[in-house]
Amino acid sequence: MMYDYEWDRIKIWLEQYGAIGEEVAKAEEITRLDLSGHSLKELPESIGVLSHLLVLNLSNNKLSTLPESMKKLQKLSNLDLRRNKFAVLPDFLSLLPLRSLNASGNKLESLSFLSLFSELRVLDISSNLITDVAGAFCSENQLRTLNLSSNYIKKFEVEGSSLEELLRLNLSRNLLSELSSSFSRMENLEELDLSDNQIEKIDESFFELDVELLDLSLNQLGALHLFGLDSLEEIILDENPLESLTIDESFAPYLREFSCEGCGLKEFVLPPSKNLELLCYSSNEIAAIPDAIEYYTKLIQLDIESNNIVNLPDSLANLVSLQTLYIKDNPLSEGAKKVIEVLAPDICDIRMKTGISIEKASREDIPHMAKLLNVLFAIESDFTFDYEKQFAGISRLYEYEGADMLVAKYEGKVVGMITMQRLISSAEGDYIGQMEDLVVEEEFRRMGVGSRLINKMRSIAQEYGYKRIQLAADVDNKNALEFYNRRGFVKTHLSIYHYKV
């Protein structure tokens, strides 16, 4: 058998970075390769011998070019180039059967290379220097998910049928000032994120879209008339300077979530959908809640905190499905407080101490979080508290790229916490979030702290595009089980087994 020098070279190089084990005997055995986070400035030409490679992760390096030999990787379907130093991408990438390409966090100024890609399904080009997308997409592309967030795009025009198969589009954190009629050409679009732009004007044809999720928060909309959007299930309008908001009876008949936080509104406008589960009008200038709120019997969460509300309609007590009511920072009358007592005081944050903040955990919070786990493990019989182990675990979690950690603080002290780790689900075919370590100090319970922690983490999961979030709870902790059920978590038929190694 002839000696393969190229394989020998790449094998030694890969072992040097811990990318493969010594047991790998030939190039054909390698189908997935993770070379992320090694500060690599270049790749060896011999990487081209990995002819069976399907997935290649090169994220978090210092690459600005790729070796020409990579065009031999004719089975490569998933390429991750996140957070490198690419100003342009090599033309030969279009010769590969790529289905997923992540080039976010680079220095790309043009999307001209995209016209050569016909098989891409998922493309993330966020956090680059893109200013123009005209002519970027070939007419026969197969794109389903497109992330262009955090660029410098001022105008987004869809040409012909170039994006008619697109399902998810993220244009957040750009410089868009208007939404043209070309958006209506994306007939299959389900999720659209336009948050944090400068949008002032929306063409009427936009409301013909079949989107299910729409985020228009943090824009410059001064007046908005909502109609159409027949398939819409969730809309976010937060932080727009709305002087006028009107809603037509035809608007979103299946809407489940409506959020209009911090818009300066004086009137509480009810969407026509009686399927509403979440309704948010917090941080406005609303003085009254309409009696018709009683017809929203599926409402699970109502957020009207930080307004000018004095009285509450007696009909509010008829919301039998309501699980969370945020109403603090309102000048409530004694009569309004009695309505809350009838409704169910334990779902309301009215007794919550002021000054409790929810924020991302810092390194300085780690010792306090480790101690707080003692409170949790005292409840959960499967675990025994060991400060050194818990400190080590929280510390490693803090350093882990795929983890998020939130704390609740009161007067600088950590009084609550929650963590979430990114997992890959074969069932979902994508990332999911595993929530753990939700705990609140005894003194601060029944004040909405746990709800705020879990809601914030849920928002983070949605921002990442996780397909689901999951958690485990002690079967004997009835309070925790009820807490999760009331916040939309559904008990599965699975049991959790541990095997100590």
Greater pLDDT, 449 or 82: 82
The rounded distance, in Å, linking the Cα atoms of 494 and 5 is 50
Greater pLDDT, 326 or 42: 42
Evaluate the CA torsion angle 276, 488, 440, 348 in order and state its sign.
Answer: positive
Instruction: HSE, CB side, 13 Å, CA atoms: give it for residue 248.
Output: 11
The rounded distance, in Å, linking the Cα atoms of 458 and 433 is 9
8 contacts: CB under 8 Å, gap ≥ 6? none
3-class SS of residue 41: coil
What DSSP assignment string belongs to 106-154?
A: S-----GGGGG-SS-SEEE--SS-----TT-S-TT----EEE--SS---
Q: Which CATH number fits domain 1-107: 3.80.10.10, 1.20.58.340, 3.40.50.1820, 2.40.110.10?
A: 3.80.10.10
Give me the percent of the chain exceeding a pLDDT of 70: 92
Q: Residue 269 pLDDT > 80, yes or no?
A: yes
Mean pLDDT, to the nearest integer, of 118-136? Answer: 91
What is the 3-state secondary structure of 159-224?
A: CCCCCCCCCEEECCCCCCCEECHHHHHCCCCCEEECCCCCCCEECHHHHHCCCCEEECCCCCCCEE
**Banded model confidence at residue 273, pLDDT cuts 50, 70, 90:** very high
* Greatest mean pLDDT among 25-39, 310-324, 330-344, 427-441: 25-39
186 contacts: CB under 8 Å, gap ≥ 6? 158, 163, 164, 166, 169, 209
Give me the percent of the chain exceeding a pLDDT of 90: 54
**Length of the chain in terms of residues written:** 501
The rounded distance, in Å, linking the Cα atoms of 422 and 435 is 9
pLDDT at position 349 = 63
Q: Which CATH number fits domain 356-486: 3.40.605.10, 3.40.50.410, 3.40.630.30, 3.40.50.300?
A: 3.40.630.30
Show the tokens assigned to 454: 């879990």
What are the structural domain ranges in the chain? Answer: 1-107, 356-486
Q: Residue 405 pLDDT > 70, yes or no?
A: yes
Q: Residue 68 pLDDT > 70, yes or no?
A: yes
How do residues 187-221 score in pLDDT, each as one tens digit?
Answer: 999 999 999 999 999 999 999 999 999 999 999 99
**Banded model confidence at residue 404, pLDDT cuts 50, 70, 90:** very high
CA distances to 426, 456, 496 from 499, rounded to whole Å, are 21, 32, 10
Which of 34-38, 222-226, 340-344 has the lowest average pLDDT?
A: 340-344
The rounded distance, in Å, linking the Cα atoms of 332 and 338 is 10
Residue 363's CB is within 10 A of a number of other CB atoms, namely 9
Q: What beta strand segments (E) does 207-293 contain?
A: 213-215, 223-226, 234-236, 244-247, 257-259, 278-280
How do residues 83-118 score in pLDDT, each as one tens digit?
Answer: 999 999 998 998 999 999 999 999 999 888 887 788
How do residues 174-189 score in pLDDT, each as one tens digit?
Answer: 999 999 988 988 999 9
Mean pLDDT, to the nearest integer, of 261-288? Answer: 95
- For 244, phi then psi, to 5°, come to -145, 130
**Banded model confidence at residue 2, pLDDT cuts 50, 70, 90:** very low
pLDDT at position 1 = 41
Q: Measured in whole angstroms, how far is the alpha carbon of residue 397 from the centre of its chain? A: 19
Which of 212-221, 245-254, 349-358 has the lowest average pLDDT?
A: 349-358
How do residues 454-471 score in pLDDT, each as one tens digit?
Answer: 888 888 888 888 888 888
The rounded distance, in Å, linking the Cα atoms of 114 and 416 is 46
Q: Residue 49 pLDDT > 90, yes or no?
A: yes
Mean pLDDT, to the nearest integer, of 9-20? Answer: 90
Report the mean per-residue pLDDT for the chain: 88
Cross-strand partners of 409: 357, 414
Q: Tokens 């986070």 identify what position? A: 37
The candidate with the shortest Cα–Cα distance to 456, out of 346, 316, 361, is 361
- Long-range CB contacts for residues 138-146, cutoff 8 Å, separation at least 24: 138/114, 138/162, 141/114, 141/117, 141/165, 142/118, 144/168, 145/121, 146/170
The candidate with the shortest Cα–Cα distance to 258, out of 285, 287, 291, 293, is 293
The rounded distance, in Å, linking the Cα atoms of 277 and 291 is 17
Q: Residue 27 pLDDT > 70, yes or no?
A: yes
Mean pLDDT, to the nearest integer, of 227-243? Answer: 95
Any alpha helices (H) in 312-419, and if so which ranges?
334-343, 366-377, 387-399
